[in-house]
Structure formats: structure tokens, C-alpha cells
Chains A and B, each alone.
Chain A
Amino acid sequence: MRRSMKLFGSTMVAIVTLAAAAAPLVAQAEELGQQTLGRAYWHVFLAYAIAWIFIFGWIISIARRLGRVEKSLGNLDG
């Protein structure tokens, strides 16, 4: 129990140190990303993904509901 606490503590210290060292790098990368418009690509992909997910989600939900209703109708007939 003590050992795991210690391990946890040292891991946390390592993470915090690394994060502190990396923070300026991340900020720089983000800035670069803004400059090269990498983020714009990401947004375009996301937008098209959202549209397709919504439309296909709609179609799939219709298909599932239709399947269920037709099954119930078939049960009524049979």
C-alpha cells in the first residue's frame, strides 16, 4: 500500500515536471497549427463527419423502426 502510494507520488511528480516542460511546446505547436490552418482541415472533416453521421443515423433509425413495425404487423397477420 505504502509502495503504491510512493509510486503514484513519483509518477505524479514526473507528469507535472514533463507537463511543465511541454507546456510552452504545446502552445507553440498550437500557434503553428493556427498558422498552417491545420485546424481548418480538422473542422472541415468534423463538419462532413457530423453531416454524414446525422443523416445515416436518421436512415438507420427509420430502417430499425420500420423493421420492428413490419414484424409486429406480420405477427398480427400470422
Chain B
Amino acid sequence: MYKRTGWIGTATALLGVALSVLVLWMVFFWVPTEANQGVIQRIFYMHVPAAWVAFMAFGIVAFASAVYLWLGDERADMAAVAAAEGGIIFTGIVLLTGPLWGKIAWGTYWTWEPRLTLTLLLFFIYVGYFMVRAATENPEKGKRFAAVVGIVGALDIPLIHVSVLWFRSLHPEPVVLKAEGPTLDPDMLTTLLTGFLAFTVLFVGVLMLRYGLERAERELNLRQVTG
């Protein structure tokens, strides 16, 4: 059974890789340079889609966690683990590429820019999610604990977002260039949308592979335990 999920997943992931290569070509050879920020703005076509995927992954984690607690369906927990692992990869990408952009655009690696701050906190929520799971001897309990972390995290994220925005409005930073300047040039918009599509398809594909892995791992554990 897991072999078939693997096949569809592989095809989707390959499509995602192909789209990502297309994005690379668009970013480095096709899209015009943005007038205000210059070359560095090209990080945007990958950074923003990565952030979108990181938050979408957490949406999946929270939804699957709620389903798991509600119905006790093992598949929901497998989906949640798979999405959380992807989420931690993509928050990692956002957190490393954000400062690379910030150093050039804003003159500093780190600012308490609300969206960057939110991503950092999301990263730590993901870390907690995995630590809870890893540190629980009874795996059934670990799954429930992790689900609770996922759900409370999702409920708290809007509040965190509002509060870090508000905090920022109290402490304006002088050197910040507005990232969302005037409306985006159509070519830039096309590149950005392709970026969104590429990372989303890639994520969904790899998510299916990861789900297949989780299922195979659990099948193995079960058979090793029952002999």
C-alpha cells in the first residue's frame, strides 16, 4: 500500500522539482531587477513561498492534530508528523534566508520584523512538537501531547502575530525599507506565483513520500513488536 502512495508522491515531488528549476531560471535569467532594492530582492521569490509553505504546513499539523484527538485516527497523526517535519525544514529556510536579505536591504541580519519574529516562534513551536514526541516513552501519549502542542500553537499564532505587529508599531525601526513597495511588476508577479506553485507542489509531493515513510515505519514497528 505504501508503495502506491510513494509512486504518486514521487511524481508530484518530481513535478515540484521541475517547477523549482523553472523558478531558478526565471529568477536568475528572466525577471527584471527591482528598482528600489536591486538584486537582493530576488531572494523574495523563494523566501516568501517558503514562508507560505511553513505556515501551510502548520495549518495541516493543527488540522490533522484536531482530527487525531477527535477521531483517534492513526492516519491523521501520521499526516501531522509528516507535515511538521516539512514545516521545520521550511521555517529553517525562511529563518536563514530572511537575514541574508535583511543584511543587504536593511543593513542588519536580524530585525524584530513581525513576520520574521512570527516565523522564529513558529520554528520553536515545531521544535516543541518534536521534543514532546521524542521524550514520551508511551508513543500513544506522545501523539496526543504533540497534537495538543499543535492545536494550542495554531490558536496562539494569530495572537502572537497581532502582538508582534503591535510591538513593532511602538518601536519603529528607522532604516527599514518597505518590502511591499508599489504594485508588483507583472513579470515579478509571474515569477512569485510560479515560486508559490513550485514550492507548494514540491511540498505536497514530499509530504506524501514522508507520509508513506511514516506508515512503513509504523508497520515495521508493529510487526517487530508482534513478532
B164 within 8 A of A: no
**Cα separation A50 to B46 with both chains bound (whole Å):** 11
**Cα separation A51 to B24 with both chains bound (whole Å):** 11
Contact: B24 with A48, CB < 8 Å? yes
**Cα separation A58 to B100 with both chains bound (whole Å):** 22
Collect the chain B residues with CB atoms within 8 Å of residue A62's CB: 206, 209-210, 213
Q: A40-B40, A62-B210, A73-B216 are known contacts. Are A50 and B93 too (CB-CB below 8 A)?
A: yes
Q: How many A-B residue pairs have CB under 8 A?
A: 84
Contact: B213 with A43, CB < 8 Å? no
Contact: A40 with B38, CB < 8 Å? yes
A54 within 8 A of B: yes
**Cα separation A63 to B134 with both chains bound (whole Å):** 21
B202 within 8 A of A: yes
Stretch at the interface among B59-67, B84-92, B118-126, B151-159: B84-92
Secondary structure call for the A interface: helix
Stretch at the interface among B68-76, B137-145, B169-177, B217-225: B217-225
**Cα separation A43 to B105 with both chains bound (whole Å):** 11
Q: A37-B38, A39-B104 are known contacts. Are A69 and B96 too (CB-CB below 8 A)?
A: no
B50 within 8 A of A: yes
Chain B residues in contact with chain A, CB under 8 A? Answer: 6, 13, 20, 24, 27, 38-40, 42-43, 46-47, 50, 85-86, 89-90, 92-93, 96-97, 100-101, 103-104, 202, 206, 209-210, 212-213, 216-217, 219-220, 223-224
The list of the 4 closest CB pairs from A to B, nearest first, reads A47-B97, A40-B40, A40-B39, A43-B100
- Pairs A–B under 8 Å by Cβ, sample size 7: A43-B101, A47-B43, A55-B93, A58-B86, A69-B220, A73-B220, A73-B223
